[in-house]
Chain A
Amino acid sequence: AAGVIQSPRHLIKEKRETATLKCYPIPRHDTVYWYQQGPGQDPQFLISFYEKMQSDKGSIPDRFSAQQFSDYHSELNMSSLELGDSALYFCASRGTEETQYFGPGTRLLVL
């Protein structure tokens, strides 16, 4: 079965640079969630989209923005990167059922 796809899988950036993470949900899933997970921590909810509209907002910094496109893929744009932004970024998608299915994640390292 098709799963959530995230790209890139690994990303190295320097402070103050920008990064764009992409998420392709499971086919026919219309809801996308973004999470940030630091080492040894549980996933922290950033933002979610339903039918291309922002549906909820969590602890997403003002330096970050995201959107969902007509094909339901989503992009997380991160600007003015800081060392503390180094983390695993997961995207999860959901269809008509309640379960969120997670992608493999993007490991971001800010130097």
Chain B
Amino acid sequence: GQNIDQPTEMTATEGAIVQINCTYQTSGFNGLFWYQQHAGEAPTFLSYNVLDGLEEKGRFSSFLSRSKGYSYLLLKELQMKDSASYLCAVTDNFNKFYFGSGTKLNVKP
């Protein structure tokens, strides 16, 4: 089976840095995705990791350790518009997505 865990909710201050963790146990692994989802809107693709290490894309970075079944999404210079849910998703060998329950990030002034 598939088991993906992320914190339910986090709060951070505008301008700060926040790290959202995701741990997974899957029967197969073909990559890990991070999506941002504002309430009532579609998930928006942020990052894709298939190899160990850090992928940086502007203010957002994503890290993967396959041996530990662990990933994190790092958001720098937080802005109010970053308040959203962040979904961790893992794909198996058949490219089927398994989503975590999402982390609701609240950015405060």
Contacts and interface: CB of A to CB of B under 8 A. Distances in A.
Contact of A103 (B40, B42, B87): B42
Contact of A42 (B91, B95, B96, B99): B99
B30 A98 contact: yes
Interface residues of A, number: 21
A94 interface: yes
B37 to A, nearest CB: 9
Contact of A98 (B44, B91, B100): B91
Contacts of A42: 87, 99-102
B48 A41 contact: no
Given A98-B30, A98-B48, A99-B33, A56 B43 contact: no
A48 B92 CA distance: 14
A21 interface: no
Given A41-B101, A42-B87, A88-B40, A99 B96 contact: no
Interface residues of B, number: 22
Contacts of A48: 96
Interface in A80-111: 88, 90, 94, 98-105, 107
B102 to A, nearest CB: 5
Contact of A105 (B41, B94, B95, B101): B41
A88 B33 CA distance: 21
A70 B37 CA distance: 31
B97 interface: yes
Interface in A40-59: 41-43, 45, 48, 56, 58
A103 B101 CA distance: 19
A98 B87 contact: no
8 contacts: A42-B99, A45-B97, A88-B40, A98-B50, A99-B33, A101-B45, A102-B44, A107-B40
Interface of A: 31, 33, 41-43, 45, 48, 56, 58, 88, 90, 94, 98-105, 107
6 tightest A-B CB contacts, nearest first: A102-B42, A42-B99, A102-B43, A42-B101, A104-B42, A98-B31
